[in-house]
């Protein structure tokens, strides 16, 4: 009886280990899709000597400007001029490299933390911060700048990037989309759906994952058991690249290669940039509750600005006068941002209904009319003579006198 039971167990186990049929062949060789064993680096290696000096100086100027932008935007939250700000201090190399690697005709699909990428792309800093300020809809015209709205919901911009890229290819437009997402966004369903569609359609899109160590307070080890996030590309049949996210030159090179590959029909690429979020998740977060000062200090020794400055000064491509001009330019940008954000925005509540549908629905028209009536009534009360409260003067003070 025991032998029969054992035989049944063996038979059952074999039934759950089917072998592929003889005609089965892998559709894709996984070897070329696998990412680098270690994050790819250029700065501090012999390869850095081949870099264009003009590119190095441009990257550095944007990094310094970006660091100052982050500091000023953070200060604006403390002054009540911004509702919230997710700083990208420490991640500037990823965002600057992404913006500079794009051609003018390409599209950028940023997340809410990628304000710096939008500024480096050429957008007005005040317009970029409009969403985080809480006024208007987005602050800038996405079509004019080819920068999609900053996406607050995690990873929802990724399928949009795939759709735009696929549509551009169908139309014959020479356009590539670059979508940026954080490591936390890779745990969302939109991330997987976007990669799958992009791979099947061979859409000209590049995904840049800024792995900054934490999804708010959740470390990467509690999000994924993969060897790296770049390895996730293999499951979709697209190449993955692993790069040092604080090496601006390496990120620019890897993204440029991926964009060129997509532009020439090679399909999508997933790039994981290993970086670190030096500041808290937002100004509303207390990062000391989930990480140590020692960890932060260790990453300060791998600061993207210091790495690039070391390369420039070591090759005599940056002198004191040039660096002073770069810092003065960054200060001028911060002063202009500070001055223009100092006043209260002039808001028109009726704009709530302006861009919901091309043709407003009956429900929207009804809501707009109701809002207009309430605003008109409020204006009449404010204009009425009296004690300033719009009443007859029989308020609490009168009751107290009696």
Catalytic one of 105, 290, 315, 365: 290
Count of other CB atoms within 10 angstroms of residue 290: 13
Active site includes 236?
A: no
Please say whether the beta carbons of 180 and 106 come within 8 A.
no
* 280: helix, strand or coil: coil
Look up residue 100 and give its two tokens: 């500079």
The DSSP string of 307-338 is HHHHHHHHTT---HHHHHHHHHHHHHHHHHHH
Q: Is 62 a catalytic residue?
A: no
Question: Residues 65, 68, 252, 277: which is the catalytic one?
Answer: 277
Sign of CA dihedral 97, 99, 105, 108: positive
Residues 137, 349 contacting (CB under 8 angstroms):
no
Residues 6+ apart with CB under 8 A from 265: 202, 204
Which of 65, 146, 160, 281 is flagged as catalytic?
281
Residue 137 is among the residues annotated as catalytic for this protein: no
* Contact in structure between 252 and 304 (CB atoms under 8 Å): no
DSSP-assigned states of every residue in 216-236: TTEEGGGT--SS-GGGGGGGG
For residues 58 and 157, what is the distance between their CA atoms, to the nearest angstrom?
A: 28
Would you please indicate which residues are annotated as catalytic (active-site) residues? 277, 281, 290
């Amino acid at each position: 009886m025991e032998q029969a039971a054992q035989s049944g167990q063996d038979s059952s186990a074999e039934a759950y280990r089917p072998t592929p049929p003889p005609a089965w062949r892998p559709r894709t060789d996984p070897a070329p899709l696998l990412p680098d064993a270690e994050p790819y680096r250029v700065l501090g290696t012999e390869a850095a000597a081949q870099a264009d000096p003009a590119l190095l100086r441009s990257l550095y100027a944007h990094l310094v400007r970006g660091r100052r932008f982050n500091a000023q935007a953070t200060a604006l939250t403390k002054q009540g001029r911004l509702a919230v700000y997710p700083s990208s201090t420490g991640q500037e190399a990823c965002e600057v490299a992404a913006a500079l690697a794009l051609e003018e005709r390409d599209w950028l699909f940023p997340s809410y933390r990628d304000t710096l990428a939008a500024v480096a792309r050429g957008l007005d800093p005040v317009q970029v911060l409009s969403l985080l300020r809480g006024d208007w809809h987005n602050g800038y015209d996405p079509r004019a700048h080819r920068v999609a709205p900053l996406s607050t919901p995690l990873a929802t911009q990724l399928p949009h990037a795939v759709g735009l890229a696929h549509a551009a290819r169908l139309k014959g437009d020479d356009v590539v989309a670059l979508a940026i997402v954080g490591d936390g966004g890779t745990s969302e369903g939109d991330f997987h759906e976007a990669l799958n569609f992009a791979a099947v359609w061979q859409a000209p899109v590049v995904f840049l994952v800024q792995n900054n160590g934490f999804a708010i307070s959740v470390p990467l080890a509690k999000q994924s058991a993969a060897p790296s996030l770049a390895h996730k590309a293999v499951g979709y049949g697209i190449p993955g690249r692993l790069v040092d996210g604080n090496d601006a030159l390496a990120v620019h090179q890897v993204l440029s290669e991926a964009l060129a590959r997509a532009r020439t029909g090679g399909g999508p690429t997933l790039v994981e940039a290993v970086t670190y979020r030096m500041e808290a998740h937002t100004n509303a977060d207390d990062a000391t509750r989930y990480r140590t000062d020692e960890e932060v200090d260790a990453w300060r020794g791998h600061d993207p600005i210091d790495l690039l400055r070391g390369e420039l000064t070591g090759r005599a491509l940056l002198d004191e006068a040039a660096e002073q001009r770069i810092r003065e330019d960054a200060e001028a940008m911060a002063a202009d941002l500070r001055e223009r954000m100092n006043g209260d925005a002039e808001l028109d509540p009726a704009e709530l209904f302006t861009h919901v549908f091309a043709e407003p629905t009956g429900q929207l028209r009804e809501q707009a009319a109701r809002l207009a009536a309430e605003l008109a009534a409020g204006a009449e009360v404010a204009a009425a003579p009296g004690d300033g409260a719009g009443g007859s003067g029989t308020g609490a003070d009168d009751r107290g006198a009696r």
